[in-house]
C-alpha cells in the first residue's frame, strides 16, 4: 500500500517539500507478504492537511509488486495484464502528482482502477490526493475501500489514522495507529514513522482541548496533559531508537523534551539537527530556543546570526525579532 509520513501539523497540517523534518522521501519495500511501498511527505503549512506528495528516487519506485494485495493466489494471464496496465497508470499518476498536477493524477488513478478495480495502492494514493484537497469524506471512502481489499495492511491503517487526525477525530485516529502497530512484520522505518504520527496526533489532540475553567478543572487538565506528554515522549523515544537518522523524529523528540523541561537532553538531540549544513530555519529556531532557556547566550546569538544570514525571510527570524520565543 501507499502510506505517507507525518510532519508536525499542530499549527499547519500539510507537508510541503522544503522542511527538513519530514521523514526521508526514499521508498522502501516491506516484506513480500505485505507488498508495500511507502513514501515520505514534504512540510507542514496550513490549518488542515494540505499535502504535497513527493516521489522517491525514481518513478519505478512507486510500483507495487505484481501480486494484488487482496490475495496470495497466482493471477491469471488476463488479470496479470490488467494489473500491469493499472500499475503503469498509477506510476503516471504519481509522476503527475509529484509535479503538482493532482487533477491529471486523479484521472490516471481512475484509469488504473478501471483496469484493475481491486487495487488497494490506487485507492490509497487517491485518498491522499483527496486529503490534500481537504475532501475528507472522499479521502476516507478511498482509504476505506483500500482497507476492505487488504484488511491487515498497516499502511492503510496509518493513512486512515492520519486522515482522522486532520479531522480532529483523535480517538479514531489513535485506534487506527494502534491497529497499524499490531503488524508483526513492520520494518523499523515503518514502525518508527507510525510511532511519530501517533505522537504528533497526541500533541494535536492536547492543543485542541479548550482551556479549563476553575482551579479544580485546571488541576485535572494539568494531570491529563502530563500523562499525554509522557506518552508522546515514550512514543518518540521508541521511534528514535528504531530510526535515529530520521530528522523528523529527532526534531519532534527534541521539541517534546524542550516542552517537558528536559533541556539537556533537548539540547543533545537538537544539536544533531542544527549542527549540519542541511539545517533549516525550524532546526535553528528550535536550537536557539533551547540555548536561550539554558542561558547560553553565546550559542543563542550564534544561532540567531545563522538564522538571519540564511533565512532572513523566514517566520522563525520574524519570531526572533519580535521576541516571540514561546510561540
pLDDT tens digits for range 217-274 = 555 555 444 447 789 999 999 999 999 999 999 999 999 999 999 999 999 999 999 9
- In order of 5, 27, 54, 116, 241, the CA distances from 40 in angstroms are 5, 8, 7, 26, 19
pLDDT for 269-313, tens place per residue?
999 999 988 899 999 999 999 999 999 999 999 999 999 999 999
Confidence of residue 1 (pLDDT cuts 50, 70, 90): low
Specify which residues 38 forms β-bridges with.
28
- The answer to whether residue 243 sits within a structural domain is no
Q: Please tell me whether residues 196 and 290 are part of one structural domain.
A: no
Q: Is pLDDT larger for residue 36 or for residue 123?
A: 123
Q: Quote the pTM value.
A: 0.76
- The region that residue 323 occupies, defined by phi over 0 for left and psi between -120 and 50 for alpha, beta otherwise, is left
Residues 203, 60 share a domain: yes
Do both 45 and 132 map to the same domain? yes
Q: What mean pLDDT comes out for the span 82-110? A: 95
Domain final residue pick, 193, 208, 223: 208
Give the residue numbers spanning the domain of 324: 261-327
Residue 287: its pLDDT value, please? 97
Mean pLDDT of 313-323: 96
In a domain, 232, yes or no: no
Q: What is the CATH number of the domain that holds 113?
A: 1.25.40.10
Per DSSP, what are the bridge partners of residue 141?
none
Question: Are residues 285 and 153 part of one domain?
Answer: no
Mean pLDDT of the chain: 79
Do 57 and 130 lie in a common domain?
Answer: yes
Statement to judge: residues 194 and 292 lie in one domain: no
**Whether residue 177 sits in one domain with residue 303:** no
Tell whether 277 is covered by a domain. yes
Domain count, the chain: 2
Question: Residue 19 falls within a domain, yes or no?
Answer: no
- Predicted local distance difference test score (pLDDT) of residue 9: 36
Reported as a single tens digit per residue, the pLDDT across 154-177 is 999 999 999 999 999 999 999 999
Least confident span in 40-49, 96-105, 128-137: 40-49
| 144 within some domain | yes
**Position 22 in a domain:** no
Residue 283 and residue 141 share a domain: no
pLDDT confidence of residue 219: 52
Examine residue 44 and state whether it is found in any structural domain, yes or no: yes
Helices 281-294 and 247-259: angle between axes, nearest 10 degrees: 30
Q: Select from 208, 224, 250 the last residue of a domain.
A: 208
**So what's the pLDDT on residue 100?**
92
* Domain stops at, among 192, 208, 224: 208
The yes-or-no verdict on residue 12 having pLDDT over 90 is no
Quick one: pLDDT at residue 312?
A: 97
One domain, residues 187 and 271: no
Q: Is 296 found in the same domain as 151?
A: no
CA neighbours closer than 13 Å in the CB half-sphere of residue 196:
32
* Statement to judge: residues 165 and 300 lie in one domain: no
81 and 183 part of one domain: yes
Residue 65 lies in a domain: yes
- Write out pLDDT tens, residues 17-76: 233 333 322 222 233 333 332 222 222 222 222 333 322 322 223 333 334 454 456 888
Amino acid at each position: 500500500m501507499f502510506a505517507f509520513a507525518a510532519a508536525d501539523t499542530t499549527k499547519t497540517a500539510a507537508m510541503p517539500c522544503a522542511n527538513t523534518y519530514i521523514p526521508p522521501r526514499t521508498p522502501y519495500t516491506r516484506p513480500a507478504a505485505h507488498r508495500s511501498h511507502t513514501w515520505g511527505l514534504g512540510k507542514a503549512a496550513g490549518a488542515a492537511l494540505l499535502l504535497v506528495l513527493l516521489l522517491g528516487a525514481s518513478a519505478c519506485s512507486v510500483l507495487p509488486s505484481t501480486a494484488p494485495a487482496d490475495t496470495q493466489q497466482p493471477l491469471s494471464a488476463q488479470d496479470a495484464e490488467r494489473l500491469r496496465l493499472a500499475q503503469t497508470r498509477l506510476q503516471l499518476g504519481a509522476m503527475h502528482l509529484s509535479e503538482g498536477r493532482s487533477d491529471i493524477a486523479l484521472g490516471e488513478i481512475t484509469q488504473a482502477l478501471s483496469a484493475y478495480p481491486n487495487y488497494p495502492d490506487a485507492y490509497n494514493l487517491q485518498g491522499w490526493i483527496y486529503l490534500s484537497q481537504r475532501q475528507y469524506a472522499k479521502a476516507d471512502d478511498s482509504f476505506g475501500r483500500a482497507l476492505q481489499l487488504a484488511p491487515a495492511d498497516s499502511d492503510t491503517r496509518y493513512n486512515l489514522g492520519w486522515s482522522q487526525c486532520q479531522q480532529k477525530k483523535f480517538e479514531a485516529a489513535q485506534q487506527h495507529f494502534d491497529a497499524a502497530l499490531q503488524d508483526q512484520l513492520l520494518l523499523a522505518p515503518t514502525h518508527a514513522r507510525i510511532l511519530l504520527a501517533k505522537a504528533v496526533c497526541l500533541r494535536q489532540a492536547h492543543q485542541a482541548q479548550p482551556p479549563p475553567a476553575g482551579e479544580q478543572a485546571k488541576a485535572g487538565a494539568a494531570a491529563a496533559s502530563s500523562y499525554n506528554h509522557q506518552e508522546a515522549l515514550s512514543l518518540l523515544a521508541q521511534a528514535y531508537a528504531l530510526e535515529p537518522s530520521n530528522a523528523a523524529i529527532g526534531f519532534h523528540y527534541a521539541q517534546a523534551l524542550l516542552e517537558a523541561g528536559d533541556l539537556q537532553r533537548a539540547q543533545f538531540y537538537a544539536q544533531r539537527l542544527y549542527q549540519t549544513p542541511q539545517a533549516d530555519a525550524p532546526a535553528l529556531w528550535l536550537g536557539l530556543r533551547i540555548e536561550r532557556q539554558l542561558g547560553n547566550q553565546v550559542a543563542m546569538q550564534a544561532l540567531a546570526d545563522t538564522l538571519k544570514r540564511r533565512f532572513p525571510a523566514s517566520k522563525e527570524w520574524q519570531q526572533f525579532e519580535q521576541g516571540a520565543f514561546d510561540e
